[in-house]
Structure 1
Amino acid sequence: MKAIKSPAAKMGIKEGSRGILINAPGDIHTTLHLPALDLASRLTGHFDYIHFFTKTLADLDRRFPVLMKHLQATGMLWVSWPKAGQLDTDLTMKSLIRTGYYHGLVESKAISLDATWSALKFTHPRKGKIYRNSYGVFKT
C-alpha cells in the first residue's frame, strides 16, 4: 500500500530550505505538513520556497513581480488561489499561468491543498526550452 504524501512532500519542499508564506490562512501549517524550514517572517533576501496565497487577479498582478525578485535561481514560487470561485475569487489557472509567463516564470505543477485551495508551482525557465500547453506558449 502506498503512503499518502503530504502537500509539502508533493510540492517538493525540502527540510532546511529558506521559505516564506505570504497571506497564508491560519490553518495552513497543519494542512501543508511543512518540514523544518528556515521560515522567514519578512520578504528580505532570496528564498528557495515562496508560497503566496491570493484571491484576486489585481493582488496577483501587483505582488507577483515583487515575489519573483526574491526567488533563488533554483527556487519555486507557489501561488495558491481558491478553487472554483470560492471566497469571491476572480482567479483561474489560465490567469495565473498568463501572469507567470508575462513575468518570465513558467508553471510546472498544480496540486490541491485542501477543499478550498489549489496551488500552482512557478520556476525559472530552462534556457532553450519552449513551454507549451493549452494556456499558452513561453519561449526562452
Structure 2
Amino acid sequence: MSESRPPFPPFDAESAATKARRAEDAWNRRDPEAVALAYTSDSRWRNRAEFFEGREAIVAFLRRKWARELDYRLIKEVWAFHGDRIAVRFAYEWHDDTGGWYRSHGNEQWEFEGAGLMRRREASINDVPIIEADRRFRWPSGPRPADHPGLTELGL
C-alpha cells in the first residue's frame, strides 16, 4: 500500500488552502507520530537554526517542541503556491513552564512529491513575548474551530 496525502500537486488556490488547513489541524492536535506521516520518510527540514531529515527526527523534534511550548495554538495562511510548492505564513501562541506567554510569527516553504507528502520544509520563526491578556487564540485544545478568524481577520 503506497502512502498518499491529498490534495496532490500541482496546487491551485483551493487545494493549497486545504493543504494548509489540514497541516494546521494536525499540528494543533500535537500528535508527533501522526504529524510525521504527512512527510516523506526522508523529508528534509530546516526549523529556525535546526537542520534534520526523516520521520524519526521529525517526531523527536515535535516532542521537544511541544514539551516546551505549552498550550500551543496555531493558525496558518497560504501566502503563495505554484506547482508542487506552497508558502505559508503562520502565528502560534504558547507559554513556557514559568507562565510566560509568546506569539511566534513565521513563514514556511513547503515542497511536495506527487502523492502529496511533504519532502521539504523550511521554517523561519520569531518569538514575541506577550501578556496573557493579549492572547487571541483561545479555542479549546485541538484544531481551530471553523468559525474562528484567521490571521488576516485578526490583523496579524
TM-score when normalising by structure 1: 0.28
- The structure whose residues are more often strand, as a share, is 2
